[in-house]
Amino acid sequence: MPDNVIVYYSRTGTTRQVAEALAAQTGWPLAEIQDVQSRAGLIGDLRCVVDNLFRRRPAYRYNGPPLANCRSAVVLAPVWIGHLAAPMRSFLHDQMPFSARLAAVCVMAARGGFDAAAEIALTCDKPPRPTLVLLQRDIASGEAFQDLSAFSKSLLQGETETDSGPRQAWLSPNEA
């Protein structure tokens, strides 16, 4: 059973690309959340909007180890209309109480990444530390991978919630 795990949901493949890069940098195993019902095409787009507008928790499939046995978990999720993607919201809600150390990467088109991170904190009753917010265009261009490398180093250094050293601006603050 792994001590650490990277859990991701990716509708278009962009968040999967980040998860795979993070796994390569850390050596941590990947666990995937998948939709039970397809979100392809216009109908799939509409379901994404409706699920988030009404804060629905859609069904999902989880392919990974039980988080109850993990010491640390990094969740990676896209941002849909300014909020955490609904399948990740469902998954996190089902994992309560969440005892593992938590970190997060939110992938956004233009805005809402820190709101999604706040939603993760609210759902799990603890702030994810560190938190990284990435723009899709920076992932596509490769610019995001320098920040991801610094994020993975932070994870590997075993940063704890009581650390008080200086932190880079893109990381979550030490105080809640």
Is residue 74 in some structural domain? yes
Is residue 59 in some structural domain? yes
The yes-or-no verdict on residue 175 having pLDDT over 80 is no
The three-class DSSP label of residue 57 is coil
**Is there a contact between 33 and 91 (Cβ–Cβ < 8 Å)?**
yes
- Residue 163 banded pLDDT, cuts 50, 70, 90: very low
What are the distances in angstroms from CA 52 to CA 15, 86, 115, 156, 176? 18, 6, 13, 33, 25
Tokens representing residue 14 in the block: 């962009």
**Is there a contact between 152 and 25 (Cβ–Cβ < 8 Å)?**
yes
Is residue 73 in some structural domain? yes
How many domains does the chain divide into?
A: 1
- Residue 162 banded pLDDT, cuts 50, 70, 90: very low
pLDDT, tens digit (0-9, with 9 covering 90-100), for 41-96: 999 888 888 888 888 899 999 999 888 888 999 999 999 999 999 999 999 999 98
Residue 102 maps to which CATH number? Answer: 3.40.50.360
Range of the domain at 78: 4-156
Is residue 149 in some structural domain? yes
The three-class DSSP label of residue 87 is helix
**pLDDT for the residue numbered 52:** 85
**Is there a contact between 44 and 38 (Cβ–Cβ < 8 Å)?**
yes
Cα–chain center distance at 68:
17
